[in-house]
Structure formats: C-alpha cells, structure tokens
Structure 1
Amino acid sequence: MILTVTLNLALDVTYQVPAVDWDGVNRVGAVHRRAGGKGVNVARVLAALGQEVLVTGLAGGPTGRAIEEDLRAARLPSALCAIAADSRTTLAVCETGAASGVRRTALFNEPGPEVTADELTAFVRHYTSLVAAADAVVISGSLPRGVPDGIYATLADLAGVPVIVDADGEPLRHAPKGRPAVVKPNAEELGRAVPGGTPAEGAQALRGQGAEAVVVSLGADGLLAVTGEGTFRARMPYPVVGNPTGAGDALVAGLALGLVEPAPWPDRLRRAAALGAAAVAAPVAGEFDRNVYADVHPKIVIT
C-alpha cells in the first residue's frame, strides 16, 4: 500500500472557459469540483494504475466534509484527521483557447486553515499508526498555517519505509534531514531552496543533506535525477499543451511506483516523465491521458 500525506487538503474547483475577459463577465463552459491537494492527485493516478492507496491529511469544516464525500464517491480509501478550522478551496481557470488553439491556466490557491499544536500532535500519532501498514509514503504539497516547516522531515524520519517528499520553500529545505528516498522539486523550487548554481549542483546539495535521490522537474525539458547510481536526464520528444495542474503529482506517482516495483532509474524516470506529460493533456488534476502516455513513453530519451 502507498500512503499519501496531504496536510493542506483542498476542494479543487476547475473552470473551463473559451477565453478570459478580465474586465467583463465570463461564462464558464464546464465546472469540476473534487477533492484535491497534491497527495490526493498522486493517489488518483496510482489508483488508476491499479495500486492500493490510502489518503491521509487534515480536513475540517464544510469544505473538509465535501473533500471526504468526494473521496468516498471516487472510491479512494482515506483516513483523514479532523481539525476545527475549515479546509481550503483552490481555483483553476483553464482557458481552452477556442480561437487560437492555445490553452492557458491560472491558479488561485487559498493559504489553508489554522492548525493547532494539539491537532498536529494528534495527526502525527494517527500517521504513525497508518504508516505501519505502508510499503511507501508520498508527502507533498503546502503546509497549512500553524504547522512547522520541519514537519515533512519529521514524518519522513518516522516512516520506516521509503518516502518521497514534494515540497517548496522551507519545508523543502528541511526535508532532506528526514532522509527521504526521493525529494522532488521543480527547477524554481530547487532554486529557492538552494540559491545559485545549476540544477545539478542544487540537487547534489540536497543529497548531501540527507536525501537519497533528488529528481528535478524541468517542465517541457523533462527531468534531472541525481541519485546514488549516477546523474540522469530524461528528455521529452515534444511539448504537450494543456492544463499543467497536477502534472507534477502524476510524475510523483510514477516515482512512487519505482519504490514499490523496483526498477532501474532510467525506467523509473521514463515512466514518471510520461505520466507527467499525459497529465497535462487531461482536463483536471489527478487524471492522465492514456493515449498520450502510450505515445510519449517510448520516445523519451534517457542519458
């Protein structure tokens, strides 16, 4: 079983519109509302690939109840920990580009609820009980207010099984102290955590601080992986246009599979990069286009 941890769970709302008029009224063509947060998106992709998953995190208020209801409707197993404050909502406005054929997406992310010290302590106990049955753990996303920056390192250290951490800012900077199997920033996140130098140098710095491997998402340019077995690049055959929301989460799902289905790093990276590209072609986070995956996967070049 792969346990996904999302401390800042969300109700993700996606608006699809032909074009955005920032000074006028916009008619929304389609609306999608679903449980979200990076770990939930990872779990959706893993479940679609036939993996046993369990979603955990913090949820509260009416929005938290809507998140739990959607997880049940999606048949995603969950064991959430209750908090008093209301969970957050995120908004993605996806411009379908009917006139030009170009799609763009703007994201609006609320900061999340305030979590008390007692609620966090209860969650850590809850997490410890869940991780005992897990084969791997994915810890990802932003932190709600009141949660210390070092929590991801703490959770990774407590796991006792391989852990992937996908984070930004101070949580990313602290994460290697927990000795996770993989840390997965994108290039901008890595630059903020390790200012100056190349992505390879930044990734090597995080490895030196305790991470076993660092996989850097380079967007349309593919992936860079600095591992104990060497440094690898995955180069994409062509750019995929669409909604990038959740692409990194699909990529992380591919890396998580490499923890429970051991494979050489080139094979892990090819699968992860292909899933990320296929997620861009899907309309909402947590989904991926199987046809795009099948087309891209064999064409990815690993060096």
Structure 2
Amino acid sequence: MAHSDVALFAPSPVLTLTVEEQAGRPDIHVHAGSQGVWQARMLVTLGASVTLCCVLAGETGMVLRHLIEDEGVVVKAVEGTGRNGAYIHDRRGGERVEVAEAPSDPLTRHELDELYGITLSTALDAGAVLLSGPSDNAWAQDAVPADAYRRLAADLRAVGKPVVADLSGDRLAAVLESGLTVVKVSHEELLEDGRAGADDQDALIRAMHELHDEGARYVVVTRADQPLLVLADDVVRIVRMPRLQSADTHGAGDSLTAGVTASLARGGDIEDAVRLGAAAGMLNVTRHGLGTGDVEAVLKLRELVEVERLEPGGSGAATAPQQQVSPRDLAERTRGS
C-alpha cells in the first residue's frame, strides 16, 4: 500500500443524519462525522492522501467504514466491541436542531492499545501527523485519556515527524508536554482553559507565547470572524481574508487545520501553510457540508489572504475592518476574472 501524506488520529467517528428541506420536502443526508472526518475530507479535497486511524464498532461502525472510504480516505481501524456514536440534526429551519444523539461506547484498554499501535505504524510512513480530538459531546471526552495523546506526540517527536494538534483542555496540555510542530486553538478554547484572561489581542498573544514556551513550535489562534493570529519564530502575524457570506460556520476551523497540515506534509513553510488553511476555512463557511470545498476555489482564494507581521505595540492592526465579498464577487474571483 502506498504511503499517505497525512496520518490522522481520529479515535471515534460518528454517523450523522441531517434533515434539510428541498422543494418543500424533507431531504435526508447520511454522512460520517467528527472533527477528524471533517479534516480528512478537506485534506482529500486539497489533493493530500490520508490514512485515518480510528475505532469502528457495531452497526454504525460498519456504515462509517464505507462512508469514509467512499470519500477517498484510507481507513485503518480497530474492530471495537461496542458501537460508534450517531446523531440526527434537523436543519429545515435554517439552524441545526438536535433531534436525537446516541453516544459512542467507551474504548477498552485493549482497543486503545491497538489504536495506538496502528497510528504509530501509519505515522512512520506519513509526511505529517494530525492529532484530532474525540467528539465535542460530553460523553465522548473520556473516550481517549490525555496521556495517550502525550505518549503519541512524544513518540512521533522522537522519530522526527511534523505533528499538528487541534486540541484543547487536558489533551492540549498533554501534547505540549511532549512538544509538537503546530497547535491550532480557538480564542474560545483559550478562555475556557484559563490560558487567556480576556479575548483582547494582547491577552491572546500572551497566551500564544506561553503555548510556545510549553512546547509548540508554531501557534495558530482562530477568532471567529476576526483575523487569525499566528506565532512563528517569535513573531506574531495577523492573517486577514475577505469575509464571505456564511451558510454554516461549523467545520471552518477543521478545514483550516487540514490546509495547514496538507501544506506542511509537502514541505511548505508555516506562512504558506497558514495561507492555504485560511483559504480552506474561508470557503468552508460558504457551504452546508462540513469540511467540503473546491480545490480550485481554495487555491484562488489563497491569493486573497494577507499575512502581516505585527510589530510590538501594534495591537490595532488586527482590528481593521475586513473586506466584505458578495457571492457574485466570489464567483468572479474564483473564475479568475
């Protein structure tokens, strides 16, 4: 089997059923979900080969394997004894309304050990490794202990692999202890973790330097509709991009992480990686599908991403208004006209 550009650690994918409305009638969509799946989807869109390492179990696990593989992702899975989670969302009213949710069963010690081995083996042949968290749901937070992330990050660092982590809380603290290449985190997560005392730029920059001191070579902070902040080589950069009309903001941060990882896996530098990630996240918000997009549009939008170094004391730069882009303007730009 050919080696993948990216090895993606995504412990517990979930089955998603979403009800839309089409011509006045219910339109039901069935997909694989979870942070890692959305990241894998965008990586494939960007032309990266991906191997997703996970646990699949029960009827939901059987369906998930087919759905993930059908999207062009190689699946290396532990055959679990329980079941993967699933949820049903109703979006006919324009917003996501949870109808029902079934949790994944906790991973056994044997399943976790086997998943660790599969991931390490896959990572040794990959260009980069992406560590993704379990589902955001409270019942999934104990599925994979933080120490498993710490050990995995340490082993990958020992063999010289670039490691990207999209984590928060105890899992973020654990991988920082081992050291890694990139940490992507939102400003909300920094606040929730107590790493930032406020959401103003100065407080976030202090938190970014602390993350670097704890073990992250590069730090990327998303701030909802505000420009990204990037810390690289002791320099903070502000990343501005047009603010597109939003269809669904879910998954935008995961698309950004995927773009960064895809670029690093191919030997790109951090600025190139952030430009690609920002463009992927930018396009994702214009679509209802999570982690979706068109590679040509992403590459053209990348040219609209502006990266500017923030000089000490220059906190006002990040609050400059962003350019508004209409759907027509977007269509013209992505056609290259």
Instruction: Flag whether TM exceeds 0.5 (same fold).
Output: yes
Deviation at 1:138, TM superposition (A): 0.7
TM-score, structure 2 length as denominator? Answer: 0.78
Question: Which stretches in structure 2 are left out of the alignment for 5+ residues?
Answer: 309-337
Report the RMSD for the aligned CA atoms in angstroms: 2.4
Matched letter for residue 122 of structure 2: L
Q: Who is 2:80 aligned against? A: 83
Figure out how many residues of one structure are paired with residues of the other and give that number.
Answer: 289
Deviation at 1:171, TM superposition (A): 1.3
Q: Output aligned runs, 1:68-217, within 5 Å.
A: 68-94=65-91, 97=94, 104-106=95-97, 111-142=103-134, 144=140, 145-159=142-156, 160=159, 161-193=161-193, 194-197=195-198, 198-217=203-222
Matched letter for residue 108 of structure 2: T
Contact 2:56 2:80 in 1 (8 A): yes
Q: Output aligned runs, 1:1-303, within 5 Å.
A: 1-17=5-21, 29-94=26-91, 97=94, 104-106=95-97, 111-142=103-134, 144=140, 145-159=142-156, 160=159, 161-193=161-193, 194-197=195-198, 198-228=203-233, 230-289=235-294, 293=298, 296-303=301-308
Encode CA deviations 1:86-112: one digit per residue, 9 max, x unaligned. 111144443565xxxxxx445687553
Question: Which stretches in structure 1 are left out of the alignment for 5+ residues?
Answer: 19-26, 98-103
Cα distance, 1:290–1:162 mapped onto 2, change above 3 Å: closer
Matched letter for residue 113 of structure 1: D
Q: Distance in 2 between matches of 1:202 and 1:28?
A: 48
Greater CA deviation, 245-254 or 71-80?
A: 71-80
Contact 1:281 1:292 in 2 (8 A): no
Contact 1:14 1:32 in 2 (8 A): yes
Greater CA deviation, 138-147 or 48-57?
A: 138-147
Q: Who is 2:327 aligned against? A: none
Q: Distance in 1 between matches of 2:172 and 2:109?
A: 21
Greater CA deviation, 152-161 or 282-291?
A: 282-291
Matched letter for residue 61 of structure 2: G
Deviation at 1:290, TM superposition (A): 5.0
Q: Distance in 1 between matches of 2:297 and 2:285?
A: 9
Q: Distance in 1 between matches of 2:266 and 2:235?
A: 20
* Larger gyration radius, structure 1 or structure 2: 2
Q: Distance in 2 between matches of 1:167 and 1:280?
A: 21
Q: Distance in 2 between matches of 1:134 and 1:265?
A: 18
Greater CA deviation, 39-48 or 88-97?
A: 88-97
Contact 1:178 1:210 in 2 (8 A): yes
Deviation at 1:4, TM superposition (A): 0.9
Cα distance, 1:147–1:294 mapped onto 2, change above 3 Å: closer
Deviation at 1:54, TM superposition (A): 0.7
Deviation at 1:224, TM superposition (A): 0.9
TM-score, structure 1 length as denominator? Answer: 0.86
Q: Distance in 1 between matches of 2:35 and 2:217?
A: 22
Deviation at 1:251, TM superposition (A): 0.5
Matched letter for residue 142 of structure 1: P
Matched letter for residue 128 of structure 1: L
Q: Distance in 2 between matches of 1:96 and 1:296?
A: 30
Identity of counterpart residues, as a percentage? 25
Contact 1:223 1:269 in 2 (8 A): no
Encode CA deviations 1:144-182: one digit per residue, 9 max, x unaligned. 434212322221112231111111322123221121111
SS of aligned partner of 1:222: strand
SS of aligned partner of 1:185: strand
Contact 1:181 1:212 in 2 (8 A): yes
Contact 1:142 1:168 in 2 (8 A): no
